[in-house]
A and B are shown apart, each in its own frame.
Chain A
């Protein structure tokens, strides 16, 4: 736990940003072969579009499991920084996983929530966050003290740089728009898994 705990920020006053833009801002800051788990749908599509890192894992189903998968990687490789990118609809399916992360407290884990208040990929139906549910408040409530809203792009960069450098677990939430993703991931699960394991230096 860092000496100075960050203030949570505020969803309502946070700028509405763009998922692909933020994903690129994240990826350009990865210099230590950090593992990134892209949640189902647009979240991993924009991760794919941001460049083919062998340390990226793309989920093609199992909605809600980006955080648990990232937690497993973080436990197996405590020296490596691991980032889960999850949408608001996805994290709402598995809120308990934030509590599990809080309980274990892996210092190398970062959760990034892309919140557009919308089940965008199924036609834009509103999620609970559109009605006021606050993912950062939930995360803090289950014990993730270092959970924050990114106020704008510069704030996102500052917070992500700190999360990449200092002990976690961290949760950064960003409000995003409903622009479509920049590309679509190639749907080849066995290849995705094999490339990811090689990218992590794992031999079976």
Chain B
């Protein structure tokens, strides 16, 4: 925990908590397709030599890379936004789920709580039904004080049960992306 100008402790930011929890679980490979809300987390993993960071052009490709790395003995995560998740149904249904590969996904939630882009609002509604229909464990995180517990236990369970899992970062946690008037 860091301190402010007057020496009072400052609570760690959500992205710092995620970074440190990934590290604690030896999740070394971070793949992402960029997202504005995830930018501080992306900066954080780029700045830390512990992580191998890859930005492939498509989320499916990231799922493939993380799946291969897992089978080779390296843990990984895929960072994306809601619309990126919508491109993943086939890769999850025909690779991660049937082959029992614990692909960890962190999704920045667009499309709700102040969305200004109708496309994002529509595609957001497909995310949880897809996860549910594939039987993929998912949690929506809204509070910083629950974040470490949820990330920690989700990684643990995904690996122990050899199953993919998704963590959805609500705008309540991250602030989301707001429309600039």
A74 vs B56: C-alpha distance in the bound complex, in angstroms?
A: 16
A74 vs B52: C-alpha distance in the bound complex, in angstroms?
A: 13
Which residues 4-57 of B sit at the A interface, judged by CB distance below 8 A?
29, 52, 54, 56-57
Contact of A200 among B71, B90, B94 (CB under 8 A): B71
- Pick from A44-52, A53-61, A129-137, A164-172 the stretch touching chain B: A53-61
How extensive is the interface on chain A, given as a class?
Answer: 35 or more
A99 vs B58: C-alpha distance in the bound complex, in angstroms?
A: 11
The answer to whether A62 has its CB under 8 Å from any CB of chain B is: yes
Contact of B99 among A68, A71, A192 (CB under 8 A): A192
Instruction: Collect the chain B residues with CB atoms within 8 Å of residue A197's CB.
Output: 71, 73
B71–A196 CB distance below 8 A: yes
Shortest beta-carbon distance, A79 to chain B, in Å?
A: 11
B72–A62 CB distance below 8 A: no
Instruction: Collect the chain B residues with CB atoms within 8 Å of residue A96's CB.
Output: 56-58, 61
A68 vs B63: C-alpha distance in the bound complex, in angstroms?
A: 8
Residues of B within 8 A of A (CB): 29, 52, 54, 56-58, 60-74, 76, 90-91, 93-95, 98-101, 159, 162
A190–B71 CB distance below 8 A: no
Q: A62-B90, A62-B94 are in contact. Are A69 and B58 (CB under 8 A)?
A: no
Of chain B, the residue at the smallest CB distance from A64 is: B60
A190–B61 CB distance below 8 A: no
11 new A-B contacts, CB < 8 A, other than A74-B72, A190-B100, A197-B71, are: A62-B60, A63-B90, A65-B60, A69-B65, A72-B70, A72-B74, A75-B69, A99-B57, A100-B54, A190-B99, A200-B71
Q: A96-B61, A190-B100, A192-B99 are in contact. Are A62 and B91 (CB under 8 A)?
A: yes
Q: Looking at B58, B65, B68, which has the most chain A CB atoms within 10 Å of its CB?
A: B68
A60 vs B64: C-alpha distance in the bound complex, in angstroms?
A: 13
Contact of A76 among B60, B68, B91 (CB under 8 A): B68
Of chain A, the residue at the smallest CB distance from B70 is: A72
Of chain B, the residue at the smallest CB distance from A100 is: B56
Contact of A77 among B58, B72, B90, B93 (CB under 8 A): B72
Contact of A69 among B54, B64, B74, B90 (CB under 8 A): B64
Q: A100-B57, A196-B71, A202-B71 are in contact. Are A72 and B64 (CB under 8 A)?
A: yes
Top 4 A-B pairs, shortest CB-CB distance: A61-B94, A72-B68, A76-B72, A68-B64
Instruction: Collect the chain A residues with CB atoms within 8 Å of residue B159's CB.
Output: 204
The answer to whether A97 has its CB under 8 Å from any CB of chain B is: yes
B100–A73 CB distance below 8 A: no
Instruction: Please name 26 pairs of A and B residues whose Cβ atoms are closer than 8 Å in the assembled complex, sorted by A.
Output: A62-B64, A62-B95, A65-B61, A68-B61, A68-B62, A68-B64, A69-B64, A69-B65, A69-B95, A71-B68, A75-B68, A75-B69, A75-B72, A75-B74, A76-B29, A76-B70, A76-B72, A96-B61, A97-B64, A99-B57, A100-B65, A197-B71, A201-B73, A202-B72, A202-B73, A203-B73
